[in-house]
């Protein structure tokens, strides 16, 4: 295999915890909550699935179900889905729902997995072409630049820029074409067996990693180097 495609969230990067996410926005807005209230609110937001890249909703409200299924096909749908989930939880100021959404798009909200740089640089040294294929509603390129990983990526294929989301094989086809890669010589690495597994329909090999907090998965990406020999 000469080309490797990576998912973003849960594969190369992990979003911050829900409590840290909420705390950062409250601090930025100058709003203070007592610690028990802050913890309870964070738990409610997590159960709602309001943090993109975090937990899935425990219960998906009927009025959001339609947009949820296609949330990664445009920036507008993505924001509507996640702010809709956030609004299931009362906050001190209604404007905080949009502020929370905006926070998750910042590089500060994301951490690369501990072995991400090692694996990406190792692939680059071997001459592999590298792409990022993500179901997402915003431009993640600044996250890669801020963490110094953009230098290793040859192409970004983001669902909202193409109106197609994984597991649709068309998104993987776009990535292979952007990298001038034969799908039969391409490995897709991701954490979602349904979404990322869609690459197999195009003929790509697929390797899965566990979507865990960064500290709990120090070397989950290293087997990729072994797979490529």
List, for residues 3-33, the tens digit of each pLDDT value. Answer: 999 999 999 999 999 999 999 999 999 999 9
**Spatial separation of the C-alpha atoms in residues 38 and 22, rounded to whole Å:** 8
Question: Helix 75-86 crosses helix 35-48 at what angle (to 10 degrees)?
Answer: 130
Please name which of 10, 219, 12 lies closest in space to residue 120, comparing C-alpha atoms. Answer: 12
pTM recorded for the entire structure = 0.96
Every domain of the chain and the residues it spans: 3-14+110-227, 15-108
CATH number of 3-14+110-227: 3.40.50.1000, 3.20.10.10, 3.50.50.60, 3.40.50.200?
Answer: 3.40.50.1000
Please name which of 184, 170, 84 lies closest in space to residue 135, comparing C-alpha atoms. Answer: 170
What's the chain's average pLDDT? 97
Q: How far is CA 147 from CA 85, 135, 142, 199, in A?
A: 29, 20, 9, 27
> Which tens digit of pLDDT belongs to each residue from 118-175?
999 999 999 999 999 999 999 999 999 999 999 999 999 999 999 999 999 999 999 9
51 three-state secondary structure? coil
Tell me how many helices (H) and strands (E) the chain has: 10, 7
Q: How confident is the model at residue 210 (pLDDT cuts 50, 70, 90)?
A: very high
Q: How far is CA 17 from CA 43, 114, 166, in A?
A: 10, 17, 25
Here the tokens at position 198 are 């869609």
Spell out the residues 6+ positions from residue 133 whose beta carbon is closer than 8 angstroms to its own: 5, 6, 7, 157, 166, 171, 172, 175, 188, 199
């Amino acid at each position: 295999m000469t080309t490797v495609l990576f998912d973003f969230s849960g594969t190369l990067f992990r979003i911050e915890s829900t409590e840290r996410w909420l705390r950062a926005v409250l601090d930025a807005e100058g709003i203070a909550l007592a610690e028990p209230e802050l913890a309870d609110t964070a738990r409610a937001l997590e159960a709602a699935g309001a943090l993109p890249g975090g937990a899935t909703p425990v219960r998906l409200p009927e009025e959001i179900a339609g947009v949820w299924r296609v949330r990664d096909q445009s920036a507008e749908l993505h924001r509507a889905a996640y702010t809709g989930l956030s609004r299931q939880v009362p906050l001190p100021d209604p404007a905080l729902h949009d502020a929370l959404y905006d926070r998750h798009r910042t590089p500060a909200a994301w951490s690369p997995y501990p072995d991400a740089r090692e694996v990406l640089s190792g692939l680059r040294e071997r001459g592999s072409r590298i792409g990022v294929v993500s179901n997402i509603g915003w431009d993640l390129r600044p996250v890669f630049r801020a963490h110094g990983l953009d230098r290793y990526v040859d192409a970004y294929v983001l669902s909202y820029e193409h109106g197609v989301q994984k597991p649709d094989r068309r998104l993987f086809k776009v990535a292979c074409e952007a990298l001038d890669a034969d799908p039969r010589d391409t490995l897709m690495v991701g954490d979602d067996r349904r979404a990322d597994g869609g690459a197999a329909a195009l003929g790509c090999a697929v390797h899965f990693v566990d979507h865990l907090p960064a500290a709990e998965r120090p070397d989950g990406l290293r087997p990729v180097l072994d797979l490529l020999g």
